[in-house]
Structure 1
Amino acid sequence: MDLAAIFNSALGEILSPTTAAFALATIGLNIHFGYSGLLNFGQAGFMAVGAYAFAIFTMMVDPTATLGWPVWLSFLAAIVAAVIASVIFGLILGIPTLRLRGDYLAIVTIAAAEIIRFTVRTQDLTAITGGSQGLRGQDYKGDIDALNPLTGSTYGFGPWTATAYDTWVRIIAWSLVIVALVVVWLLMRSPWGRVIKGIREDEDAVRSLGKNVYSYKMQALVLGGVMGGLAGVMYVLPRAVQPDNFATTMTFYIWTALLLGGAATVFGPLIGSILFWVLLSLTGGILTGLQAIGAFGEMSGTQAGQLRFVIVGLALMALVVFRPQGILGNKKELSFHV
């Protein structure tokens, strides 16, 4: 078992585009649950909407060819398309459901995310969404690759060495994470943020003060959903768009990262996402290595690798029992009334 390779692979997840994408999605979920008290279990749906809108716009509209737009404007238009699609999905989801509370809202959001996944998988939409096979990365990565200012073959050092394309995607993804953190920090220090946190604690009291609780909830849902949509774009830039990547499991990963880092904190989603992917990679590598030397008997390497999710689940249970506020969270800040 090559422990050095396993640790290098785990450390590489600290700056990977996947970690950045999940950090961005977790920041959005933090706005929903941590600050607004909305039990959204459909963040993967927002990611799917953003990813498909970006890819489909780039492939089918292609402003560089049809309108003669420069590449940078075409890429920006695709990002805007992902944002608009996320806003529309947020409005469609929120208008009939935001009057629900607690478990009822959670059930509806899970169902909505699954509706999105099964819709893009349907055979009737294969020409647009690729059906169950998804969309090939080479069909929508042209613009961002053309914008890449890096001319070398590889960049970075040690476990953070990557190709020029991957390095460029990392720069964009982590820049968006930084912008999202700044936006959340500013918003939660503003009067809008104080109203949102008041709704989380007792929405009836906020309503008695003349505030439109429904409107504020909608704004929070859309804002967090937009971050989820952008996370979906960043998630598919290093890979293809596969509908099953946006299953409910992804939402549970995002929830795990949020609870690990600490809800209702600015940097909790970031710390939680990094730790989650580092630990997931580390445990997966160690378990696969132990299987290779016969530690699990007849168990296959794939089966041994799946044990990491058991370990992560047990760790999450222990975290909820012994430190429910997470690493950076404040227990007093998490007195939810949902």
Structure 2
Amino acid sequence: MEDFLRILTQSLGEILAPTTAAYAIAAIGLNLHFGYTGLLNMGQAGFMLLGAYGFAITLIAGGPIWLAVLVSLAAGTLFALVLGMPTLQLRGDYLAIVTISAAEIVRWLGRSTLWQEWTGASSGLQGRHYKDPYLELSPLPEGFTTLGPFEYINTGSDSWWTRIVAWGLVILLLLFVWLITRSPWGRVLKGIREDEDAVRALGKNVYSYKLQALVLGGAIGSLGGVVYALQLAISPDSMGGRTMTFFVWTVLLLGGAATVFGPVLGSMIFFTAFMFMRTGMRALSEGTAVGEVIDPTTVEQIGGMAVGITLMLLVIFRPQGILGNKKELAFNAR
């Protein structure tokens, strides 16, 4: 019983984890692409990795934290422009091909020894090299704080300060998305998603609106990378890989595309369930006969397979997610 309560508490802690917030932010950006505009961006991890690199490298070079955030946003914006300008006049599936390929290019460039001085190559950038200016902003006293079953250090990477910053940013972005999607600009995006030919017939520049949505969602995705880097280190393989993109898609589809709160709900449920499954499987493999079938080294692989199966089942049986409306997914095939 004690082991079960420990596993449950550890799993519920993922609801407030900075990593959960980082994926929620990335999914909010992807929601602008896919949920509201119908753009198939399969490379959101590339935006996150570039945003994290821009933030960390600026701080390492001695820049202030506000400049680091601006550089992160600029990196996501530039990446979206490079990808979107040549592809958004073509069919939607071309964007999917380009974005997933571009994310892989970013990952391999990060791993390359050519810019090792800046990116750390395959070893990445350790938090101790860039987090100090961020941690110095914390107004919280030293020590630990306990809220219910959760106890964390006040200031640090995995701290209450990081949780306050991460979820505060999530709230601001939710408010921002709620406002813009209810504006005339947001209604045009929904029209493009449902029938871009009709929107074009009304005299709207569909290409321009698509590019604006791609840039805005990409910049938000880069902020997700910043939040991810505040708790963890920056590694091109863990951040820029396909796994991160699939996690973001699972989060979005689970919560509900084209909904404001869907990315946040999806991230909370997904990472709580994912942590419960992993910690539970580890406990079973170490203390029971199950360990003869599943040893601790295979838990991550099984977890990855479970995510893939979950994503397939969501697409097949509940594409609208928990909060979504199936009518909202009547995407234009072009």
Tell me the TM-score range normalised by the shorter chain: over 0.9
Q: Which residue of 1 aligns with 2:15?
A: 14
Indicate yes or no: 2:303 matched with 1:308.
yes
After TM superposition, the structure 1 stretch with the greater mean CA deviation from structure 2, 202-211 or 49-58, is 202-211
**Number of equivalent positions:** 327
Superposed CA deviations along residues 79-102 of structure 1, whole A, max 9, x for unmatched, are: 111111111111111111112323
When structure 1 is superposed on structure 2, of 82-91 and 152-161 the one drifting more is 152-161
Q: Is the 8 A contact 1:287 1:307 kept in 2?
A: no
Q: For the residues of structure 2 that align with 1:4 and 1:310, how far apart are their CA atoms?
A: 26
State the partner residue of 2:216.
Answer: 223
Contact 2:247–2:307, Cα closer than 8 Å, also in 1: no
Structure 2 Cα separation of the partners of residues 42 and 311 of structure 1: 21
TM-score, normalised relative to structure 2: 0.95
CA RMSD of aligned residues (A): 1.3
Verify: 1:131 aligned to 2:121, yes or no: yes
TM-superposed CA distance for 1:158, in Å, is: 4.0
Consecutive unaligned residues in structure 1, runs of 5 or more: 64-73
SS at match of 1:40: coil
2: CA distance, partners of 1:223 / 1:185: 14
- 1:204 to partner: Cα distance: 1.3
User: In the alignment, does 2:322 pair up with 1:332?
Assistant: no
Displacement of 1:153 in angstroms is: 0.9
Is 1:284–1:306's contact at 8 Å kept on the other side of the alignment?
no
State the TM-score, normalized to the length of structure 1.
0.94
Equivalent runs, 1:42-191 vs 2, <5 Å = 42-60=43-61, 62-63=62-63, 74-165=64-155, 166-191=159-184
CA distance in 2, matches of 1:96, 1:159: 51
Letter of the structure 1 residue corresponding to residue 29 of structure 2: G
Distance 1:118 1:303 in 2: 26
Aligned-partner SS, 1:161:
strand
Does the residue aligned with 2:332 lie in a helix, a strand or coil?
coil
Distance (Å, rounded) in 1 between the aligned partners of 2:267 and 2:220: 15
Report whether the alignment pairs 1:250 with 2:253.
no
Q: Deviation string for 1:170-201 (max 9, x for gaps)? A: 11111110011011111111000000010111
After TM superposition, the runs of 4+ consecutive aligned structure 1 residues lying more than 6 A away are none
| Deviation by residue 1:208-240 (Cα, 9 ceiling, x = unmatched) | 111111110011001101110000000011121
Percent of aligned pairs with the same amino acid: 54
CA distance in 2, matches of 1:241, 1:159: 29
Q: For 1:100 and 1:279, locate their aligned partners in 2 and report how far apart those are by CA, in whole Å.
A: 38
- Between 92-101 and 185-194, the greater mean CA deviation after superposition: 92-101
The structure-2 alpha-carbon separation of the partners of 1:88 and 1:305, relative to structure 1 and needing over 3 Å to count, comes to: closer
